[in-house]
Structure formats: C-alpha cells, structure tokens
C-alpha cells in the first residue's frame, strides 16, 4: 500500500511540473537582480530589504511604437527585463503597434501561451497546428475582440485596415521568448547552408541567397 502512495505522489509531482509554465514562487516576491553574476533558470533575487516600488513598475505603454520598418509593426515588451518584479511570477505583457497592412511575422513563444486583445483597428490573426496536420486556424478581429495562441505554436497578426492598429498581449511567462521563423531560418549566425535550405523549401540556392541577404 505504501508503494502505491509513493507512486501516486510521484505522478502528482510529475504532472504538476509538466503543467506548469514558469516556476511557482516560494516567497512574496523575488525581484530580479538583472546585473547579478549568479546564473539560474530565471534571475537571482534582489535583497528584499532593497526592493522599491519601481521594481514593480514600468511606464510608457501608452506610447505608440515606431512602425517605420520593413514589416510595419513594433512590439513594446513588458517582461522581466523591463519589470524586475515579474521574476518568478509567470506573467508578462506587451503592446503591438501596426501600420496599415503591417504584420507581426510568423513566430513562436517557446515558454508561453499568449492572449491578445485588439484596442484599435482590425487584425487578422492565426496559428498553425503541429505536424502532420499543419492546420491554419485564423480569424479577423475587431476592436475589443480577444484571441488565444497556444504555447509554442507558430502564429502571426496582420493589420487588414488602412489605419493604424493596436493590440495588447499577455503571456504566461515572465520571459516568454520569441522565435521569428524567418529570422531564425534565414538570419542565423552563421548561415544555415543554402543547399540545405533550398532542398527544405523546394527552391534553388540563388533564391535562398537572395532571401538570406535581406537578413
């Protein structure tokens, strides 16, 4: 009987870790020591006696981001790098500004689910399910609409209007990370071999060279 309880306990612990995103805090707060020399999974804690209100604060999310770039969008993050008090709390957010027909290119967040709310404008959003189906799930959102992107799935947003659009996103990690597919594939350092990419994308090496030159 005792062995059954041990097995049950191990299963509960395993599922708890599997279902968790960031680690759960074991104290009131663990303000990140962003400049500290200690390397851990996250950030080491600042001395609680030295914690101040500004450790939990960030201003300026009302300021539009500069969308004068090739993709026509700008993400303003509010994660642990900007708000050290988010360390161990498992959440973050951001603002995304879109020029007319601007895009937030296909990307993933390896450590977080994302929920998006449209504040202004009209956005086409979508995500792609994993292999082998690779099913595109997409919807056009209006002001006030909310959409969820499951953790680590490739997703995108696009402004489908002739006016600027704004969205606020929340993510289930203090540091969700972002992998922009085009940047990772065509802008890696050093380059991925062009013949490998040509075969993978069923094209020729000249086309791959041209795309890589843009990154």
Q: Annotated binding site for oxalate: which residue ranges?
A: 104, 109, 114
Which residues are part of a known binding site?
104, 107, 109, 114, 155
CA distance 103 to 88: 31
Q: Which residue positions form the known binding site for Mn(2+)? A: 107, 109, 114, 155
Joined together, the tokens standing for residue 122 give 């009209």
Q: For residues 191 and 109, is the Cβ–Cβ distance under 8 A?
A: no
Between CA 122 and CA 140 the distance in angstroms is 7
Q: What angle do CA 54, 118, 22 make, to 5 degrees?
A: 50
Percentage helix, strand, coil for the chain under 3-state DSSP, each rounded to 5: 25, 25, 50
What's the order of all strands across the beta sheet hosting 155-159?
Answer: 136-141, 123-128, 155-159, 103-108, 179-180
Structure token digits, residue 48: 């609680």
Distance of alpha carbon 158 from alpha carbon 140, whole angstroms: 9
End-to-end, the C-alpha distance of the chain in Å comes to: 61
């Amino acid at each position: 009987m005792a062995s059954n309880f041990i097995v049950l306990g191990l299963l509960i612990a395993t599922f708890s870790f599997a279902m968790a995103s960031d680690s759960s805090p074991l104290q009131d707060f663990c303000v990140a020591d962003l400049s500290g020399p200690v390397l851990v999974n996250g950030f080491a804690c600042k001395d609680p006696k030295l914690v101040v209100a500004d450790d939990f604060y960030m201003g300026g999310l009302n300021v539009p981001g500069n969308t004068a770039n090739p993709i026509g969008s700008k993400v303003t993050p509010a994660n642990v790098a900007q708000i050290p008090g988010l360390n161990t709390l498992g959440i973050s957010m951001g603002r995304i500004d879109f020029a007319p027909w601007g895009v937030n290119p296909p990307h993933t967040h390896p450590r977080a689910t994302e929920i998006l709310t449209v504040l202004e404008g009209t956005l086409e959003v979508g995500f792609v399910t994993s292999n082998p189906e690779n099913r595109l799930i997409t919807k056009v959102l209006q002001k006030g609409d909310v959409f969820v992107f499951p953790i680590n799935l490739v997703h995108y947003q696009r402004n489908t209007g002739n006016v600027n659009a704004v969205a606020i996103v929340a993510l289930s990690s203090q540091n969700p990370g972002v992998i922009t597919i085009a940047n990772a594939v065509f802008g890696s350092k050093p380059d991925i071999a062009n013949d490998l990419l040509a075969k993978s994308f069923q094209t020729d090496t000249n086309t791959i060279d041209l795309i890589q030159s843009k990154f």
